[in-house]
Amino acid sequence: MAKLYFNYSSMNAGKSTVLLQASYNYVERGMNTLLMIAAIDDRAGKGRIASRIGLGSDAEIFGSADDIFEHVARTMDEKPVHAVFVDEAQFLTEEQVWQLARVADQLRVPVMCFGLRTDFQGKLFPGSAALLAIADNLKEIKTICWCGRKATMVARLDENGRFAEEGNQVVIGGNDTYVSLCRHHWSKRQLRREAAPANDETTAKVAK
């Protein structure tokens, strides 16, 4: 039985890299994959999935009003589809998550979604909330905070490079707009390791 998968993480954990590698594994074995990405995310170009290490692939886009089940079904009328991959899955609507569940259940095609779990205020995205609720398989793709602990939260930086406290849930930006942090340092609003004061006792001992 095909399943609905949700692979989630904070920013810059390599989600797109894992997605592209998994799709390549299917293609290498002579199978067809359908790659999709949210229309709102055009950082790599419209309808383009790209990773920070240079991998990339064209993808079909979805908007909030699109019926993804019908789109997959129409595509399957033209050619076989052996797996569906969805990047930036946090931008799915709840209804679209159920549509993807129907792709797995009725069309019997595995669906692998990749996205963020929470926004910069620590709140679940609607698409992520629905996936956490109904996906058959949940997997965390891990990355680390500057302190070395596992990063589970996302901080958004304002135009001055400081921790943004308010704003729209969705703001598309590059790697310099968001920082992944552990829960402890996200709560403390500490974006980086603080330099020791010049008169710090430890520094003085080292100087000797």
Residues with active-site annotation: 88
Crossing angle of helices 94-105/126-134, nearest 10°? 30
Cβ–Cβ under 8 Å, residues 56 and 20:
yes
Q: Is the dihedral of CA 157, 160, 163, 166 positive or negative?
A: negative
Tell me the three state secondary structure of residue 129. Answer: helix
Q: Who's near 94: CB < 8 A, 6+ residues apart?
A: 126, 127, 129, 130
User: How far are the Cα atoms of 51, 84, 146, 152 from residue 192, in angstroms, in the given order?
Assistant: 24, 38, 6, 15
| 140 beta partners | 8
Q: Are 84 and 103 in contact (CB under 8 A)?
A: yes
Angle between helices 94-105 and 68-78 (to 10 degrees): 40
The amino acid sitting at 152 is T
- Cα separation, 33 vs 99, in Å, equals 17
